[in-house]
Amino acid sequence: MPSPVLTRAEIRTVMRTVAARLLEQVPQLADRLLTELRSTENAYRRIPEAEHRRDLEQGFRAGIGAVMQAWPERRDLSHAMEVGARRAEQGVPLDSLLRGYRLATQITWEAMVDVVTAEYPEAAAALLRGAGRLWHGVDRQAVVAADAYRRRESELRSRRAERAQALLDALLEGRADTAVVRDAAAALQVPQFGRYLVVATRADGCARPELSRRPAEAAGLRLLWRTRPDCELVVVALADRDPDKALAALRPALPGRAGVSPVVEGLPELSEARRYAVLALRTCREGEVVHLDERLPAVLSVTQPDLAERLVNAVLRPILELDPHDRDTLLATLSCWLECEGSVARTAATLYCHRNTVFNRLRRIETLTGRSPDRPRQVMELTLALDAYHILSTPEREAG
């Protein structure tokens, strides 16, 4: 004889009766889940056992109790939200959190089957018909917990990033004591003592690099980027890499000109490296990437702008007083001649003019400045004055 078809109200009554019976078994159910999770999920072992047990008991009570409540009154979702956020704080992976919900569902269902089989065999049909409500309820808990987990994880990631950037600022600005250095190494995931470069870079023209395009790594390098009003700073953790090869790997990621510090031997020296990199950057022309040691004479002009201006006036003033066309022609010729290491032939080829034209311009420079291209000391004065002129005459370099 077929079993009678139960009404919805009868099914709810049976489910609530079984749920009430299960609430008496919550400690046993929690023990079972606790043992399973802590034996198979390493992340859960970081949570104190008493705290973990309390969470599981509360979860079972909320989930089983939800079967006894009207849908708008359910309190299991708020508990799921709290647990999801807390597991994110505790570093439990999301997959482990969701596996916990699947196991809890399995344990609850098996306990329900045991109760019905032993005590209410006539209610088996009602249990099967009410199963959908149980699965749907647990699914909602898992979704709510996962959403809360992701939100909290995002907040924590943002806070960690802000703290790491603040620690990096302290290193670059020389405000780091021993404790800050240790914390910075942990937050930035770099060694306290190791080989580092600092690169100061600025986009040529008005363009600025997109933050999303900054690589965290380049050819295996660990890179730490920091934005400043006048430039971008890149801390390069070299490890055992050759500095020149590391810089070549980084070069495509740089937005334009760049100044490079000497290699330093640990995080406490980053402030000095940052200062040297910025000084080297201030000597750069468009598209250049230069090491500090390649521009030491020009750096002297950067660090002593009043003396640099005096040097420019003392050496180049007669040329600067010419009309713009003559002035620019002579300065370009002098610059090219110096870059060509005093070779008139190479200078003429670079400037697309006759050798005699170069000779005539050099003689004119000598007449105007009183400095002969044939005398090394006077060539040094011309070189320093020309470097100082280029640095002082570019507003964006002054801003650096």
Classify 342 in phi/psi space as left (phi over 0), alpha (psi -120 to 50) or beta.
left
Q: Which residues pair with 232 in a beta bridge?
A: 201, 227
pLDDT of residue 399 exceeding 50: no
pTM over 0.85: no
Structure tokens at 146: 């996962």
Q: Look at residue 129 in the predicted model and tell me its pLDDT.
A: 67
Strands 289-291 and 217-218: unpaired
- The model's pLDDT over 294-347, given as tens digits with 9 standing for 90+, comes to 878 778 777 777 888 888 889 999 999 999 999 999 999 999 999 898 999 999
State the Cα–Cα distance between residues 60 and 69, nearest whole angstrom: 14
Q: Look at residue 172 in the predicted model and tell me its pLDDT.
A: 93
Residue bearing tokens 């007449």? 367
- The model's pLDDT over 210-253, given as tens digits with 9 standing for 90+, comes to 443 466 666 678 899 998 888 899 999 998 889 988 898 888 88
Structure tokens at 376: 């090394």
The number of beta carbons lying within 10 Å of the beta carbon of residue 374 is 10
Tell me the H-state helices in the chain.
8-23, 26-40, 49-67, 76-90, 94-119, 124-172, 178-188, 243-250, 270-281, 296-303, 305-320, 324-339, 344-351, 355-369, 376-392, 395-399
pLDDT-derived band at 394, boundaries 50, 70, 90: low
Starting at the earlier edge strand, list the strands of the sheet with 232-237: 217-218, 221-227, 232-237, 196-203, 256-260, 289-291
Name the residue among 6, 8, 4, 5 with its Cα closest to residue 133. Answer: 8
- The model's pLDDT over 344-377, given as tens digits with 9 standing for 90+, comes to 999 999 999 999 999 999 999 999 999 988 888 8
pLDDT-derived band at 209, boundaries 50, 70, 90: very low
Mean pLDDT in the chain?
84
**How many percent of the chain have pLDDT more than 90?**
41
